Structure 1
Amino acid sequence: MLLHTVNKSAFNHSALGDCLRVAAPNDAVLLIENGVYGALNSSQDETDYSQRIKQLSANGARFYVLRADCEARGLDDSALLPAFQVTDDAGFVALAAEASATQSWY
């Protein structure tokens, strides 16, 4: 499993799109810092990011957002796309330990 971390907002950066183009069904994607905006249900074009996230999720990919970064930006769990799970710093460490490698998208 490859762990992808994305720290840039999908509103003004291509990092999430770049990540989703290469992510595989057994990978994990963790949105951190401003990257958490990419998990918002309303921030995605239905034919672009959200469709790719749904497709990858249905095939086994896992999607996460870092709780502290969501809270710092006033984002509520209910505003996130259904594929996303909220994790904490310990969960981030566990994902990194589980992964064979980590790819950061900045």
Structure 2
Amino acid sequence: MSNLAGLPPLGQKQQKSKPRPDYLAAVRELPCCICYHFGFPQIGPSYAHHTICGRYSQRRTPDTQAIPLCYGHHQGAMGIHTSPKWWVSEFGPDTDFIAGTQDQLAHLLR
């Protein structure tokens, strides 16, 4: 039973979000949001990146907050997982790209 704030009782873990393989597959079909937004040529496919900026736990963000990143901007030399501070200083928090991705995939969120 939840309280008036809609939160679980104290001491109990929150429910994990349900995996959305359909949504993640659609994210992988989109162009890298960094390459697209900043005008870089994209080399290779996009990966579904679960956002990490502003997260204060080890729990992964929900699939519906994933954004498309190419290998270079995901795990490569200029990747958010390789150099997160540099990445954020150059491109901003990865969470800034969630809304644009969700707008492109709104048909899957209904």
TM-score, length-scaled by structure 1 = 0.29
Q: Which has the higher strand share?
A: 1
TM-score, length-scaled by structure 2 = 0.29
Q: Which structure's relative contact order is higher, taking Cα pairs within 8 Å and 6+ residues apart?
A: 1
